[in-house]
Amino acid sequence: MLELANIRKAFNQGQHNEYWALKGIDLEIPPARVNVLKGPSGSGKTTLLTILGCLARPTEGRVRLKGEDISGLPERFLTEIRRSTFGFIFQQFNLVRGLSAIENIILPGYPTGTPRARLVERAEALLADMQLSHRRDAKVEWLSGGEQQRVAICRALINDPEILVADEPTANLDSKLSAEFLAILRRLAEAGRTVILTSHDPLVVESEVVDRVYSLRDGQLIEVVDTRRAWP
């Protein structure tokens, strides 16, 4: 699905405070699985996630999506790929305050020029799937943490992406909500979506819904463990 070859990423390159966040990573993300990037803070897992999600470009190395090299594509095409292939869930949820749940959900569909009626229809279906239909027109700042999380998931799914990317998704959730969230991820993976998340939460890393854990330290991949079931 996604392959990284010798990925290196530097910040402030060429300056006195040059810093290599990633120091040569090779990995392969299998399709329709739940993948977790694990590591202490500063290990480079979020940086790796931004590269996997096409939010940022590696300084060196190649990113291949379904066998196609995308690391050299210009910004426009990268945005296009990001929009159609990836859905994002952020640690702070990053919902736009003042807009209703449904308006937040359809935001990623705007640049595609999909008719509003179709977007709304899709969003309603997603809300129903997350048992949130009753909160459809509520402003997002009035929603509880769990509800915001589910709205964020809906928003990530509005363009029907193949890959779902989540950065520390359980950081703001209690154990019960985290468990619910993981169950949702499981369902998505079983429906054929690839899930990639970062976490240092043991609840996530040790969860049985996770298929594969990548351990990072100091910008290097130190261990890859297949946790759940045997690979076909």
Partner 1 sequence: MSRPSDRVLAFTLFAAALFAATFVDAGIRRDAHEPALQRTERLVEDLRLSDLVLFTEARYTRHLSQADLHSAFQDHPVALEHFPSGSLLPPPALLLDRHEPLDREAAPSD
Partner 2 sequence: MNRWIEKQRHLIDFTASSLARRKGKSLGLLVVYTLLVFVLASVSLYTHALRNEATRVLAGTPEVVLQRLIAGRHDLIPPGYIEKIGRVRGVQKIEGRLWGYYYDSVLKANYTFMVPSDRRIAEGEIVVGPALERSRGLAEGNGISFRAYSGELHTFIVSEVLAHESELVNADLVLMSEADFRRFFAYPDGHYTDIALWVANPQEVRNVGLKLINALPDSRPILREEVLRTYASIFDWREGMMLALLSAAILAFGIFAWEKAAGLSAEEKREIGILKAIGWETGDVIAMKFWEGFLVSLLAFLLGYVAAYVHVFHFEFALFAPVLQGWAVLYPSFALTPKIDGLQVATLFVFSVLPYTAATLVPIWRAATTDPDTVMRS
Interface residue with partner 2 among 46, 59, 220, 227 (CB under 8 A) is: 46
In whole angstroms, what is the distance from residue 193 CA to residue 185 CA? 9
User: What DSSP element (H or E) covers 150?
Assistant: helix 145-157
CA distances from 209 to 40, 52, 134, 181, 190 (A): 21, 21, 28, 11, 10
Q: Which does 108 bind (CB under 5 to 8 A by kind): partner 1, partner 2, none?
A: partner 2
Query: Which is closer to partner 2, CB of 33 or CB of 82?
Result: 82
By CB under 8 A, tell whether 116 contacts partner 1: yes
Q: Which does 79 bind (CB under 5 to 8 A by kind): partner 2, partner 1, none?
A: partner 2
Interface residue with partner 1 among 5, 55, 120, 179 (CB under 8 A) is: 120
By CB under 8 A, tell whether 5 contacts partner 1: no
In whole angstroms, what is the distance from residue 112 CA to residue 128 CA? 23
Q: How many chain residues bind partner 2 (CB under 8 A)?
A: 34
Contact letters for partner 2, residues 84-123 (x by CB under 8 A): --x-x-xx--xxxxxx---x---xxxxxxxxxx-------
> Which residues in the chain belong to E strands, given as ranges?
2-11, 19-29, 34-38, 60-65, 68-69, 86-89, 163-167, 194-199, 212-217, 220-226
Of residues 69 through 108, those in contact with partner 1 by CB under 8 A are 102
In whole angstroms, what is the distance from residue 173 CA to residue 86 CA? 23
Which of these, 174, 224, 207, 166, lies nearest to 50 by C-alpha position?
A: 166
By CB under 8 A, tell whether 55 contacts partner 2: yes
Query: Which is closer to partner 1, CB of 7 or CB of 123?
Result: 123
* Smallest distance from partner 2 to CB 182, Å: 21
Q: Locate all alpha helices (DSSP H) within 12-115, ordered by sequence.
A: 45-52, 75-85, 101-106
- The binding site for partner 2 (CB under 8 A) comprises 46, 49-50, 55-56, 75-76, 79, 82-83, 86, 88, 90-91, 94-99, 103, 107-116, 155, 159, 167
- The binding site for partner 1 (CB under 8 A) comprises 102, 116, 120, 137
